[in-house]
Chains A and B, each alone.
Chain A
């Protein structure tokens, strides 16, 4: 297991290095921050002064080397749009909000998707199964930004039940979590349903029933535990979707997390913050997938890593 972990961590570092090259190159291809951050009537001379001040007048390979050398020490540079702040400070400041919303969205998605998936499998071909399919269809077909705006108009403007936007208590998280998580509900539910159907056909389930084990225990304990491996695989993907999805959802709900930070930084071509956000997303994605791989072994004793 230790050897496996060491290998995965090494692979992760190589992945991060590759991502750093890609994000560095892509952000430079998107244009010069001076063009976005200076006023319309700034002269070419003023632009040159600011370029020098920000270190953007140096050759690209020197900029990258400088970026990489600082990055390994945890310094991803100073923000251009938020003067006086480092890029990582901006990310650390906003990350808790994204984790809070993303975590809540994952919990809500899971609490909704798994039971519906299990019940849809148990009631295969009946109305509840159809209902589950409908939920999945809508969740996968509806764009999250549209869903977000509709939720705001219905629940915040017309019914005044939840706030429209901003970060605050639990009531502020409900609408963005639904908008963020519905797609995941659909995917997770379908995976759970198919995995449950497969497990329900196994001999040990039949044996449990013949032995008189209560039906709820057969379904929610014996079946679910064995059916959980497939959806568990998907959790690594969910974490990725939640973080990338936060870019849209946080913008619509003015939720001050890393997704909104990414959009603001991209608009301003704040290279350093864009790089910091993307690398942070990459680290979270990699760590989440590593945790999922380790959890396989916990959930399924047959899996052993060497």
Chain B
């Protein structure tokens, strides 16, 4: 091989290419930041992808935060207190004595976006049909189904059920909600019209959907009289948490739902946070597999946690204060005494909060005593306590939480075991009533008491809660069929106390929805935390002054 003494000429073609790239590189470096400066009246929100990227609210779960900017339910809720109010499409409502008939008085003069006409009772009936069809997957669809929906006049509509619906407003203004679509648009364009550009009634109207994002623009003459600060609202769906943080820090997004573990990094970099005014999530651990109504052959009395002493021991083995410090170093969480128990809800009993430390508090000595009394592990065929470790959307702390629980249990002599399962599998096992393990659970947002009781302590509930016995089933049935508010409150309190004393699950923490903001662009955002995503009232995002 001939040695190449001077290889400079070999570079010549590369130099030419490099020279031609310089103007391009300069153009790129100038162009990228300039593009953002032109969009000061567009607020960009980086969000976790919704359950389905669709305009059909009823056909996917967890789409509230992607469609709730434009679509509205019948019942609005207050941005601070979360209470239902008549500021939305229904101005008032009444029910008959036994709560089987609900009549809504509709706001007159509300226009659907893009000239699809005035909102009337026909749109309510049409939307009810969409949300109760077989393909509907909205939460608590079974609660909504079964009504006879009657148009009394163009601005009055009545729902009639055979059984009482004491929490019916929840289906029109809460987590499980029926959104109002335009019948006129459907008649004219079909479902494809919704897919292309649906007409809602909210303060923002839908403009377009691209893969990975949705664009809304404000309605200048909205019936509420509210004009959002930002002319445009762009949602970008990003699944990687660090990318969302990067977008926020690089000024590409002005709001981002970054995970709690990255929140300290955002704060260190000068970002701010806004928080829901009310707790939006409750976390618990659930003694699953206690399918023990007397007729149920799936009840396994040999499970260690069938024994109430073991349930109490497990509860008392956990140092919740320490867990709180480790799991939520940036705050925002507090202990709670009873899954489903929310101040202001039916059956709320403040004495349970007072009793909590004495009856559930960390006490290793008491644990040892309880285990001796239960003759654990000797009297159990299989004394293993399987703890499910599963990723849960929006709850990055679950893995560490479960590992801590494992450590606490083994430290006091309980034979714990970590079982890794994906969340969908946990759901499937729960629905098949084969979940004989301790699983993480969440109540998000906290439901009305009766709705929560139905979901968590009845058969069939949702599958992720395992406590069932004759007493609880009978009492919940009584509650469902009781319409007197005082009596209902008393029954609900009685149930809460019973569940508390039976240690039916492992109460952990109440949390608020936190979202990071860039304070250079966003001044604040008031929302109560009562929707499934936690966020709502998008029109109240304030521009930085």
Residues of A within 8 A of B (CB): 31-32, 35-47, 49-50, 52-53, 81-85, 93-94, 97, 111, 115, 119, 122-123, 149, 152-153, 156-157, 160-171, 174, 200-201, 206, 209, 214-216, 219-220, 251-254, 256, 260-261, 263-264, 268-269
**Residue interface bits B456-468, CB-to-A below 8 A is 1, else 0:** 0000111110000
16 inter-chain pairs at a CB distance below 8 angstroms, sorted by A residue, are A40-B463, A42-B141, A43-B142, A44-B460, A46-B137, A53-B134, A81-B53, A81-B60, A122-B10, A149-B242, A152-B242, A165-B243, A167-B212, A254-B236, A264-B49, A269-B424
Total number of residue pairs linking A and B with CB closer than 8 Å: 190
Q: Which one of B1-9, B89-97, B166-174, B221-229 is at the interface?
A: B1-9
Interface presence of B197 (CB below 8 A): no
Interface presence of B29 (CB below 8 A): yes
Contact (Cβ within 8 A) A42 B211: no
List residues of chain B with CB within 8 A of the CB of A47: 431
CA distance A207 to B356 in the complex (A): 93
- Selected from B17, B237, B422, B442, the residue in CB contact (under 8 A) with A31 is B422
List residues of chain B with CB within 8 A of the CB of A85: 54
CA distance A214 to B140 in the complex (A): 79
Contact (Cβ within 8 A) B424 A36: yes
Interface presence of B138 (CB below 8 A): yes
Nearest-CB distance from A158 to chain B (Å)?
A: 9
A83-B12 contact in complex given A41-B461, A157-B246, C-beta closer than 8 Å: no
Contact (Cβ within 8 A) B195 A84: yes
List residues of chain B with CB within 8 A of the CB of A215: 4, 9-10
Interface of A is mostly: helix
Residues of B within 8 A of A (CB): 1-2, 4, 7, 9-14, 17, 24, 28-29, 31-33, 35, 49, 51-56, 59-62, 134-135, 137-142, 191-192, 195, 210-212, 236-240, 242-243, 246-247, 249-250, 252, 422-425, 427-428, 431-432, 442, 455, 460-464
Nearest-CB distance from B211 to chain A (Å)?
A: 4
Contact (Cβ within 8 A) B239 A115: no
Nearest-CB distance from B404 to chain A (Å)?
A: 23
Contact (Cβ within 8 A) B239 A209: no
CA distance A64 to B243 in the complex (A): 38
Top-5 shortest CB links A-B:
A41-B462, A256-B211, A83-B59, A35-B424, A39-B139
CA distance A200 to B238 in the complex (A): 49
CA distance A221 to B29 in the complex (A): 35
Contact (Cβ within 8 A) B135 A50: yes
A84-B54 contact in complex given A50-B135, A216-B10, C-beta closer than 8 Å: yes
Contact (Cβ within 8 A) A83 B56: yes
- Selected from B11, B17, B56, B455, the residue in CB contact (under 8 A) with A41 is B455
Contact (Cβ within 8 A) A156 B246: yes
Contact (Cβ within 8 A) B10 A39: no
CA distance A264 to B242 in the complex (A): 17
